[in-house]
Each structure stands twice: as structure tokens, then as C-alpha cells.
Structure 1
Amino acid sequence: MNSYKFVINIFKNFCKTFFKFRVIGAENIPNEGNIVIASNHKSNLDPIFIAAAIENREVAAIAKKELFNIKPLAFILKKLNVIPINREKPDISTIKNILKAIKDGYVLGIFPEGTRIKEPGFGEAKAGLSLFAIKGKAQVIPISIISNYKLFNRVTIYIDKPISLEEYYKVKLSTQDHEKIAQNVLEIIKENYYIHSK
């Protein structure tokens, strides 16, 4: 068993032990092909929930580079294929690493809002989701994490069907265009969140 699977099994056991963990739509993650998953983000537990929910592919998530300053954490993050990024100004090498991860068959995990939204509701989508999905010629899968994050309460991971952005592959897009495309995905995440929160 490789280190990724070992840690993911720990995550799964954690989720099933401490939460009423439920995944809807796992079949919507294809076994192959370029994929970016996009999810809402309210807690540090969200990456654990997502990793535990996806069983047929390895996820490579994007995380702020400051997390890698903590050496024990940096060791674990590297084992989990996490890619550090400067959220204010991503450099070219980081972008290349992200696109390489997609090409190499990893499912790229990204939070469209760019950071945790601690207050009720949702933030605004940043351009990154659209940029990486289009440059990586990847389908986008909206995922809604529905939880109050209290121990032993329900956590629902709702995985929607893949969205193709192929119509944009050969189009020159501005930052505003990418933000609008990412926001459209976030609206689906929000809609599913509210439907399955009931």
C-alpha cells in the first residue's frame, strides 16, 4: 500500500468514526480522464472529507504555501500530492506543476472561493478554477460539502456530474471571463448545497 492510500484509509476511518459520513454521486468521478473537482470551503476538515469521498482516483489538491512552513505537516502534504501555491501571485512553475498533475492522471482539487469562508453563505469565485480546468483540458466536477462540522453529526458530500469547458479551449479569455466561468460552477455547488441541506 502506498503512502497516499495509507493516509486516505486513516481519513476514511476518521470520517466514519466521528461523523455520520455520507457520499452521494461517487459514480460521477470517472476512472480516467482529466478532472478538476471544485468544492465549497468552510473548514480545515474539507480536504479530508473530499479525499475520503473519492475512492477510485488519487487527488492532488492545491494549498497555500504557508502550510509547508510547518515541517511535519509539509511531509504529510507532500505524501498526499498537495501542491503549494502563492494565492496572491502564483508563479509559472506552480502553474506548470498543477497542469502536470492533471496530465499525469491526478484529480485536481480546488476551492473556487480561494480560501475558507467562515461566515454563513458563500464567497465569490476566483479565476483559478476556470484557468486550470481549461488549460488542463479537464472536465469540472462540482462537489458540495454539507456539514455543521460538529462531531457525530451528518456530513454529506454531494458529487455532481462532470461539466465540459471544451467550448473555451481555443478562446482567449480575460481574468473576468475566468471568474465568471468559475462563478457558474460555484452557483451549481451552492444550489446542490441548499437542496441537500434540507
Structure 2
Amino acid sequence: MKLNINQKRFLTETTYKLVTTVGGPFVKIAYNPLYLNLKNIPKDGDSIIFAPNHRKTVDPFVIVAAVDIPIHWAALKRFFDAEDSLFNNSKNPILCQITSKLLYGIGALPIERKDRSDDYFKCNISTIKQMISYLKMKSSVGIFPEGTTNKEPDKKDVGHIYDSFLHMAKKTNSWVLPISTVWAPKEMNVKNKVIINFREPFKVGNMKIDEALEKYKELILSGIDENKKIYTNLQEIENIVSATEHNKALQLVLKSK
């Protein structure tokens, strides 16, 4: 039986809440995310477009672990087709099947890249229509405006940003919530593996799309800069703590001799 949009919304958002309730604590244990400015998440009942920059495939997990609003995420079609997994991009068939069922279950929506399918336009138009329907129903969606993970964060803070999410925000009068995500470099010894910075939300309103895009970029980039500074401070604190613990241990050794 084919479900209508209201039935699909109810079923997937119920599943979403169950999955995030169970999985959220595990995400926090695994990555110990540092969340900034959670107060910026709109609570007026209007729909929200969660729009983070993209660094890792697990970005959505660490975001939803802190958000109690169901989010219909856009994800690459290959995950739905069980060609890839969200578990560190492992191609293990079991993990790929789990990824596919998980995404369908929580109401995520497939998008396709132009270089992967001749039907990418048809696929993406269908997803955009569904997203607009959800937004008009006051549900929320999640979109990575870069369209893919940033493979070179050391060289550039964000990749090319596509503006389709701003057109949707304008059409549905939804909030745009920029989210600045920075993962700790591998060589950095800190407990918080990722910082998620919820920036100031805005509505496109009467702004031109180009103006809204510049506003989004400014908020994302300033948030990334803020996250980087925090990591620098955290590393300094870790170094001080490590040195202090080392000195304490050394004193105990010396006293025992």
C-alpha cells in the first residue's frame, strides 16, 4: 500500500524519534560533541532548513543527537541503493543494507549527482517536491548545501555552495539554520572530537537569493573560525592538564625512591 505524504510523515518521524532516542547517547559517547548556541534553534513552530557545512558522513548523526526535532535529511542515492554505508563509508554489504533501511525508515530523501545517473534531474526534482511538501506541513529538512563532504578542509573551509535550499526557504517561508561543523584534526589530542556551532537563523523573505547566499556564507565561515579558535584553546588546556598530570606522576615516582 502506497502511503500519502501525511502517513509517510507520521510513520517516518515516529521512527526517527525512536532511532535518535536510542542512538543519540551512543553518538555522544563516541564523539563527545561540543554543541554551541543550541538556543539558536527556532522554537516558534515554523519549518526549519538545517543547513550545515559537510566534513564527514556522520555529520547528521552528531547534529541530530542534540536536536529533538525530526529532520528529513537529503542523502546521496547510493546510500539508499545499498551501494555504500554511513559507517565510515564501508562497502560491507550488511552495513550498506542497514544504511539503506535506516535512511528509508527515518524519512530521509535521495538526491543524485549529475555524473552518476542520466536520471539525476528526475530524482532530484522528486526529492525537492517532497521537501517542499514537508516544509509546508511545518516539518523540517536537512540539506548539505555543498552537496558532498569537503575532502580538503585544511585548504578550504567550505566547498562550492549550491543555493537550491534558499529557493526552498523563500518559497515556504522556512527558517534557514546555518550550522558550522569542525572536526578535531587527527594530530590534536582533545576529548571533543567535533564542534557543532548553531548559527543565527534567518528567513530569506524579501532578500534576493544572492544576498541570502552571502549571508549564509558569512554565518557559516564565522562559525568555523570560532570553532577553530576553540580547538586551539582546548589543545592548550589539554597540554596544561597533561603536563600537570605528568608532573604529579613524576613526583610520586620520586617519592617512592
Q: String of CA shifts for 1:41-67, please: whole Å, max 9, x gaps.
A: 010110111111212x11111111121
Of 149-158 and 16-25, deviating more is: 149-158
By how many angstroms is 1:185 displaced? 0.6
Contact 2:33–2:194 (8 Å) recurs in 1: yes
By how many angstroms is 1:24 displaced? 1.7
State the distance in 1 between where 2:121 and 2:64 align. 24
- For 2:227, the equivalent position in structure 1 comes to 196
Structure 1: gaps of 5 or more residues? 172-176
Alignment of 1:113 onto 2:141: no
State the distance in 1 between where 2:221 and 2:140 align. 21
By how many angstroms is 1:34 displaced? 1.9
- For 2:111, the equivalent position in structure 1 comes to 85
By how many angstroms is 1:113 displaced? 1.0
Q: Pick from 41, 44, 47: which aligns with 2:60?
A: 47
What residue identity is the alignment partner of 2:61? I
Contact 1:112–1:182 (8 Å) recurs in 2: no
Q: String of CA shifts for 1:81-119, please: whole Å, max 9, x gaps.
A: 211122434433222101012122222111111111111
- For 1:10, the equivalent position in structure 2 comes to 22
Q: 1:90 to 1:183 in 2, by over 3 A?
A: farther
Q: String of CA shifts for 1:113-136, please: whole Å, max 9, x gaps.
A: 111111122112112221221122
CA RMSD of aligned residues (A): 2.3
State the distance in 2 between where 1:11 and 1:146 align. 21
- For 2:199, the equivalent position in structure 1 comes to 160
Alignment of 1:34 onto 2:73: no
Alignment of 1:185 onto 2:224: no
State the distance in 2 between where 1:152 and 1:3 align. 31
State the distance in 1 between where 2:192 and 2:105 align. 29
- For 1:174, the equivalent position in structure 2 comes to none
- For 1:100, the equivalent position in structure 2 comes to 133
Structure 2: gaps of 5 or more residues? 1-12, 83-96, 115-119, 230-257
Question: TM-score w.r.t. structure 2 length?
Answer: 0.66
Contact 1:11–1:51 (8 Å) recurs in 2: no
Task: Provide the identity percentage.
Answer: 29
Contact 1:125–1:183 (8 Å) recurs in 2: no
State the distance in 2 between where 1:9 and 1:90 align. 35
What residue identity is the alignment partner of 2:25? N
Q: 1:33 to 1:148 in 2, by over 3 A?
A: same
State the distance in 1 between where 2:166 and 2:149 align. 19
> 3-state DSSP class of the match of 2:21?
helix
By how many angstroms is 1:183 displaced? 4.6
Q: Give the structure, 1 or 2, with the largest relative contact order (CA under 8 Å, sep 6 or more).
A: 1
